[in-house]
Amino acid sequence: MANAITKTETGKAEVLVDRVFFDSTVQTENDTLAIEEPVEIRIGFYEKGKFTNRAISITMRTPGSDFELAAGFLFTEGIIKSSEEIAGIKYCGKIDQPKNTVRVDLIESTIIDFKKLERHFYTTSSCGVCGKSSIEALSTGAQPIDNNTFHLGPEFDVHSMPEKLRKAQTVFDETGGLHAAGLFNAQGDLLETKEDVGRHNAVDKLIGSQLLKNNLPLDDKILFLSGRASFELVQKAVMARIPLIAAVSAPSSLAVKAAEEFNITLLGFVRDQKFNVYTGSQRILKKLINES
């Protein structure tokens, strides 16, 4: 059965499906899908005094928060160091075409190291920066995070984070097909949530939003992930100076290695009233021991 997919609103679409029940009865109903579309990220910059622009990445993403996604990508990849280097962000292309090209114009004094962009021009929504397998190959020049700049508040409850994030996943409720990244403070309050078909996109949208609000560094915040913790998500957290990452699912071996190197506290399998501490136990266990 082939049916046309109809977009309903940002991030969602509808399609007719045959729903089969346990007694083999079949009903034709509308099903809501998460939209996955390509976005091309371009940068506008000055080269020898002349303004030009260049495509630097294409990724599959869920439409919405595209400006935050582009800004977050440039920051977490180490292309820009602050929002002050951004002169403006806009959609490109013809008026009657989908808004699937975003251009970030940089101020004239911005120096671009294009070697940092020599990864994969095309990335899927799931893999992010595929093809690189070592911390050295993906080094962004970040420094380890200080142990003494982050302290969990007395109200902080690790076990409350999954439910708080889940309640904020509005598009997931209807589609069941999106990842989420949530930013919490040290007291355990959820400050902002971003959703996307790609884990790395959700994190870039979240960090990009905070970048454009001039809230970086996020050295007193917590990143909570609705899925697994991969290396590149740890890398992005390092760039934003986030000291604690918690994930509903497992971390990868390289994520643990990176978290150890950059002194990040990494929690995995945060669900069902338990979790694993993979790195940086001094930040979390000290609080738990004091409470017991």
Tokens 């302290």, located at residue: 151
Element (H, E) at 221: strand 221-225
* Closest among 168, 212, 213, 170 to 190, alpha carbons compared: 168
Give 202's contacts (C-beta < 8 A, 6+ positions apart). Answer: 178, 179, 180, 181, 194, 195, 196, 226
Distance CA 148, CA 81 (A): 23
Q: Which of 15, 16, 127, 135 is catalytic?
A: 127
Residue 127 annotated among the catalytic residues of the structure: yes
CA distances from 159 to 43, 120, 204, 247, 276 (A): 41, 37, 25, 11, 12
Q: Where are the beta strands (DSSP E) in 48-141?
A: 50-61, 86-91, 101-106, 122-123
Q: What are the residue numbers of the active site?
A: 127
